[in-house]
Structure 1
Amino acid sequence: MPEGHSVHRIARQFSLHFLDKPLALSSPQGRFAEGAARLDGHRMTEARAVGKQMFLAFDNGLWLRVHLGLYGAWDFAGDITADATVSSAGGRMGQTNQRGTILDQDAAEDSNASIGAPRRTRLRMSEQETLRQDQGPQANEFPPPPIGAVRVRLLADDAVADLRGPTACEVLTPEQVEVALGKLGPDPLVDDPKIAEERFVSVVRKKPTPIALLLMDQSVVSGIGNVYRAELLFRARLEPHTPGKLVPEETVRALWRDWTHLLTLGVETGQMLTMDDLDPESYRKALAHRDDRHWVYHREGLPCRICGTNIAMEELGGRKLYWCPRDQA
């Protein structure tokens, strides 16, 4: 399931390429025809990511809420950029130079190939982003024909976004959006930093629930999924089964600040990069391969990178939990 950094990157694609443009909305598969008709022809006024959910506002006062879930993905095509991460000051926050993500795999991170993409390019954004250059007689066709079961298509004059397989795709009123947002925990990239930290600390310190479950609870904190959960707990050297109320306050605060750091880094790079202080060669490998970018996630049975103890894996809350029995004792 896409974690918070992916959804923020998707929202920034919409902000860069679809905002303030009249959009044609349709449902090629037919399952969202009524909802698409309510938004068709209107301008997008805001693209907001909160945790794993995205909210797109339109000038008729309605919103499109999308939760990708396990199988959802957005495909972008047209005059789009390979990386739409833009800072609040209007500059580029970072670019991804990993295999399969930029047009020219050998290009430097500040090259034209990694910054932009020609019309024939398609970008898929889900948990793993891929960018390809279409070939064949229809390579320059715009808009490209829908491929597969497209729930909703948003079409501008120079860009198109196709949504497939989401857990949720619905039109909401402003009041319904507020209800939906009220159910979500704080997001470091959305909420006031101090207020958000205090809210997170207060909730965690009251709960008898294991901290490994609390970090996955979207009403406690937005955006953390299975990868970030395992990595945050290891980086804090925290035993995953510790009840939230027994985790020292300074550790809870450190967890929040580390989540802020990792989420920001994920938005910048497009990867859940959770290992720090890497040399240039290790950093390159980490961006290119998942196996080289995490401390414990997906490493069950392999030696811990710090102490050599075999990484453990267990089912907790219906998800796989990875941790080091020694460093997180």
Structure 2
Amino acid sequence: MPEGHTIHRLAGEHRRAFAGRAVHAESPQGRFAAGALQIDGRVLTEADAHGKHLLLGFDDERWLHIHLGIYGKYAFGPVPAPAPTGAVRLRLKGAEEYADLRGPNVCELLDPAEKKALHARLGPDPLRADADPELAWRRIGRSRTSIGVLLMDQSVVAGVGNIYRAEALFRQGIDPSRPGRDLTREQWTAIWTDLVTLMAEGVRAGRIDTVRPEHTPEAMGRPPRVDDHGGEVYVYRRSGMPCFLCGTEVRTEVLSGRNLFWCPACQTR
């Protein structure tokens, strides 16, 4: 599932391609035909993101809410757009570009009240200017649940996925099994600050890089990472490999249905 930086990049792509202009909307697949008809010809006024939720605002105050889930994908291209192929849930087309959406978990229209309710049930997003990390700390600081689980709970922190979870905890030397209430306020502040920095870099670069300058392949004389996810990381999907810092074997286990990666020597309780 895409992490929050990808959704913020998609919001930026929509602003660049369509903001301030009327768009043609259609649902070649047919599953969003009624919704597409309602926004067809409307001006796209805003493109927003909160966690893993993309929100496109139109001039009639309605919002298109998209959650990609595991299988959702976007493709942008120049007009004239080719004939749709496959299950295209939604095609937005402007004067110069089009965007095809396939396989989202959610594609629906919201009124302002429904959009407000969506924001209310999500935790603070490290990539949003209005994010308040204190809201997350109020829940984390009194929870018996492990910080590894809490960081993946979108009602606690929005936008963090498996990679940012593993990497931020490694960078701060925190065992993912430590209960939230066992963290100090300073440790939470350090995790949040790291997430803000790492995820903003993800928006800029379009990939997740988490290693510090002294641990890059060039600095360490090691081969670059070869992985479908790209980016240089410390522990994510490095199970059984030596930790860059201490040489201990990186471990993995399933936690709340997701693979968790950590270094048992560098990350302590």
User: 1:249 maps to what in 2?
Assistant: 185
Q: After the TM superposition, which residues 29-44 of structure 1 pair with which residues of structure 2 at under 5 Å, given as runs?
A: 29-44=29-44
User: 2:110 maps to what in 1?
Assistant: 172
Mark the CA change 1:291 to 1:49 in structure 2 (over 3 Å): closer, same or farther: closer
Q: Is the 8 A contact 2:53 2:66 kept in 1?
A: yes
User: 1:69 maps to what in 2?
Assistant: 69
SS in 1 for 2:124: coil
Q: Is the 8 A contact 1:56 1:63 kept in 2?
A: yes
SS in 2 for 1:223: coil
Q: Is the 8 A contact 1:154 1:161 kept in 2?
A: yes
- Normalising by structure 1, we get a TM-score of 0.77
**CA RMSD, Structure 1 to Structure 2 (Å):** 1.9
User: 2:6 maps to what in 1?
Assistant: 6
Q: Is the 8 A contact 2:7 2:54 kept in 1?
A: yes
User: 1:152 maps to what in 2?
Assistant: 90
Give the drift of 1:191: 3.6
Give the drift of 1:282: 3.3
User: 1:269 maps to what in 2?
Assistant: 205
Return the alpha-carbon distance in structure 2 between the equivalents of residues 177 and 197 of structure 1: 21
User: 1:163 maps to what in 2?
Assistant: 101
User: 1:328 maps to what in 2?
Assistant: 267
Return the alpha-carbon distance in structure 1 between the equivalents of residues 85 and 214 of structure 2: 40
Return the alpha-carbon distance in structure 2 between the equivalents of residues 253 and 46 of structure 1: 31
1:297 to 236, 240, 245: 236
Q: Give aligned-pair identity as a percent.
A: 43
Report the more deviating stretch, 272-281 or 53-62. 272-281
Report the more deviating stretch, 277-286 or 158-167. 277-286
Which runs of no fewer than 5 residues in structure 2 stay unpaired? none
1:197 aligned partner, one-letter code? P
How far does the alpha carbon of each residue in 1:45-75 deviate from its partner, in whole angstroms, 9 at most, with x for none?
A: 0000111111000001111000001111110
Q: Is the 8 A contact 2:207 2:230 kept in 1?
A: no
Give the drift of 1:291: 6.5
SS in 1 for 2:21: coil
Q: Does 1:46 align with 2:49?
A: no
Return the alpha-carbon distance in structure 1 between the equivalents of residues 216 and 182 of structure 2: 39
Q: Is the 8 A contact 2:68 2:104 kept in 1?
A: yes
Q: Is the 8 A contact 1:273 1:286 kept in 2?
A: no
Q: Which has the higher contact order (CA 8 A, sep 6+)?
A: 1
Return the alpha-carbon distance in structure 1 between the equivalents of residues 168 and 198 of structure 2: 9
2:251 to 312, 315, 327: 312
- Normalising by structure 2, we get a TM-score of 0.93
SS in 2 for 1:8: helix
SS in 1 for 2:12: helix
Give the drift of 1:280: 7.9
Q: Does 1:258 align with 2:258?
A: no
How far does the alpha carbon of each residue in 1:186-230 deviate from its partner, in whole angstroms, 9 at most, with x for none?
A: 11222435xx12222222102111000000001111110001111
Q: Is the 8 A contact 2:35 2:108 kept in 1?
A: yes
1:311 aligned partner, one-letter code? V
